[in-house]
Structure formats: structure tokens, C-alpha cells
Amino acid sequence: MNSKLPNSGTSIFAVMSALAKEYDAINLSQGFPDFNCPEKLIEYVHHYMKEGFNQYAPMPGVPVLRNAISQKMEKLYGKFYNPETEITITAGGTQALFTAISAFIHKGDEVILFEPAYDSYLPSILLNGGIPVPIKLDEKDFSIDWIKVRSVLTSKTKMIILNTPHNPSGTVLQQKDIDELKKIVAEYDLLLLSDEVYEHIIFDGEEHLSFAKYEELASRSLIVFSFGKTYHTTGWKMGYVLAPAQLTSEFRKVHQFNVFCVNTPIQLAYAEMMKDEEHYFALPKFYQQKRDYFNGLMKDSKFSLTPSKGTYFQLLDYSNISDLSDMEFAKWLTKEIGVAVIPLSPFYSNGTNSKYIRICFAKSEEVLKASAEKLSGI
């Protein structure tokens, strides 16, 4: 049998979580909170289940939720998205990304992605016959070299995938990046796929520069968001995609055949939750406190770090500790120190020699303290 993904194995997140369980290690690897979602969100889900909203939702999503998203986008980013023709509810961010790539990438189309990259981008491109064109971010500050981007643009370039706030580096796009991208799309006829699932988890007074804010970008963008990241419900797997009507029409042609629609009572519950804007406005402070708490505990360790600007991930540079590859170092930490982390090399198509590991700080203070004590003891 010829595999469509011969070089793909089990996700690094599943591998490290399994290793954490085997060695009874603290799991800072896979990116999910160890605390529960808001109680009233659970109550809303229960309410709509008991009221009988347990059958198929409309394919694009329930109208009340799409309307709530439209109002939010106009208020936060000054962009109106038509709930009927430009907003689609999806089974999480990853399904949205895969569907967007499947809808637009044909055999031989080139897709630019920046590495380290979230691990679903590359296989999604390959499964659709696309040609990935990876560009490495600067290994010190994970910035984009736009001169390098221009050097790889060709007549075959169909799409650029961007991610801000960025997983795994925790960096965010700056205005200079937006300006460079505007210049590129003015010269080249290409699509943008913007992964903005951590839109509300951003620190130090930084602003989330959603592509929705800029008509030059929004007019050719599919923008992906995640309820799971915003409401601490990663296991519910629900997100949404915003795009102009002509792009949404093509997106939905694929969406209807890989999931058709997503969980009805949970959609209705999110619509209720979105009436409380304070929840997502409070997220930057909530997660920055966790970032600062963990980083403060690590200040006297042998690791070095630059505070994350967004997401709930923090990179740790272990170059002062070991010459092991990041994969071997991550396994050693799990087995011998009792803390499971994520190596950075799986986020690259051809690996990396950099000495970084990624931890998730969406955890209780007790877990963060226990982890920092173990890591600082090295």
C-alpha cells in the first residue's frame, strides 16, 4: 500500500502525553487547560439539550451563533461579515484549516508556510497535492524575513498560511508584517489562510492584528478562530471560519462533505456565552498572570527564555544545559525529571538543531510551581 503521508507518524502531542502517563510525569506538553470551563457554559449546554436541540444544525451553523460572531467582529475589528454568506461554524480549528486547504489547493499549487508551524498545515497541503514551501522564522526572535518570502514567490504560489499569536513560539505579528503582506498581495494574486485561534490570549499590551482589520487582506483571507481556546473547552472541538462570500461558498462545498455540521446544543450555548464580553476581555490578564508566575519561578534556572507575547505556550532554551537533540532532551525530561514538554523539531518539515522546548502554562498554580521546581533543579 502506498501511503499518502509516508513521513507522518503519530502526533508529537499524543506521543509526549502518552510518555507523561507512562512515567507519571507532570504534563506540560499538550496544549489544554487543566481547569474547567465556566460553569454557566455547562448550564447553557444542559439547558439546550433538555429543551430538545439535539438534532442536526444547519450546515453553516446555527443562525444565532453566526449573528453573534458577526457582531463581535464588527465591534472588535471594524469588519462586517455577513452571517448568512461569510461565517461557517466548524468542528474545531484544525478541521477548518484542513477544509480551507482542501477547498482551494490543487495539485502543483505552492503554499508558503512559516516554520516552526502548527503540525496540521504540512500534511493538509500534501494530502491535496500541493507543494509546501517552508520558510524558517528567525531562530532567535521568530520574526519573518520578508525578503526571503519574496524570493520564493512564483506564478504557482496559491496561498500563504500565517498564524498569530503564533504556536509554538508565542510571538505575534507586528504592523510592519501587515504592511509587507499588503504589498505582496497587491502584486500577487494569492489567498491567505490566517490561523487566529489564540486571538484573545495576547500579552504586554500588544494588539491582535487580525486580518479582518485590513480590507486588502480580508478580501482574500480565510480566517480561522477557536471557541476551545477562548472558553477552555478544547475537547468540544468547535471553531469558525470567516471569509468573503465567494471564498465561503467554495469552503462550504468541502465542509458539507467532511463534517456537514457541528454540535447543536454547544453552538447555542456559545451564542449565550458571547453575550458576556468580559470573559474574553479578561483572558489576556488571566493568562499573563500564569505566564509571569511560571517565568518568575524559572528566573534562577539554567534555562533561558523570552516571555511569550501570546498563546498559552512558553519556549525554554536549554542550550546551557545539554547538547542532546530537542527530542531526546524532551524524553529525558519526562523520564528522569518528571515533566513532559514538547520539542520544537516536529514543527519543522526538516527538523531543527535549535535547543528549544515548549511548555503549556494553561495550568493551575500548583502544577506550574511543581513543574518549575523540577525544571529549576536541573
Residue-wise pLDDT for 66-76, tens only, equals 999 999 999 99
What domains, with CATH codes, occur in the chain?
Answer: 12-30+282-376 (3.90.1150.10), 56-276 (3.40.640.10)
Convert the pLDDT of each residue in 344-375 to its tens digit: 999 999 888 899 999 999 999 999 999 999 99
Task: Compute and round to an integer the Cα radius of gyration of the chain.
Answer: 20
User: How far apart are alpha carbons 73 and 79 in whole angstroms?
Assistant: 6
Residue 374: which of 18, 28, 12, 14 has the closest Cα?
28
Instruction: Convert the pLDDT of each residue in 118-138 to its tens digit.
Output: 999 999 999 999 999 999 999
What pLDDT was estimated at residue 124? Answer: 97
Give yes or no for a contact between 317 and 358, defined as CB atoms under 8 angstroms apart. no
The model's confidence at residue 14, banded by pLDDT at 50, 70 and 90, is confident
pLDDT, tens only, 78-117? 999 999 999 999 999 999 999 999 999 999 999 999 999 9
Give the pLDDT mean for 276-300. 96
Q: Is the pLDDT of residue 2 over 90?
A: no
What average pLDDT does the structure give for the chain? Answer: 96
pLDDT > 70: percent of the chain: 100
Q: Using CA atoms in the order 356, 287, 363, 330, what is the torsion angle rounded to 10 degrees? A: 0
193 pLDDT tier (thresholds 50, 70, 90): very high
Q: Is the pLDDT of residue 149 over 90?
A: yes
**pLDDT bracket for residue 259 (50, 70, 90):** very high
Q: Name, in order, each residue with C-beta under 8 angstroms of 27's C-beta and a sequence gap of 6 or more.
A: 16, 17, 20, 21, 340
The secondary element (H helix, E strand) that includes residue 297 is helix 283-297
- Residue 296: pLDDT band (50, 70, 90) is very high
Considering all CA atoms of the chain, what is the largest pairwise distance in Å, rounded to the nearest integer?
A: 59
pLDDT for residue 171: 98
pLDDT for the residue numbered 13: 87
Return the higher-pLDDT residue of 123 and 10.
Answer: 123
Among 11-20, 124-133, 310-319, 326-335, the minimum mean pLDDT is found in 11-20
Residue 9 has pLDDT above 80, yes or no: no
By percentage, how much of the chain surpasses pLDDT 90?
94
Name the residue type at position 278: E
Q: What is the pLDDT of residue 8?
A: 81
**Which of 43-49's residues contact partners 24+ apart within 8 Å by CB, and which partners?**
44/268, 44/269, 44/272, 44/273, 45/265, 45/266, 45/269, 47/269, 48/264, 48/265, 48/268, 48/269, 49/265
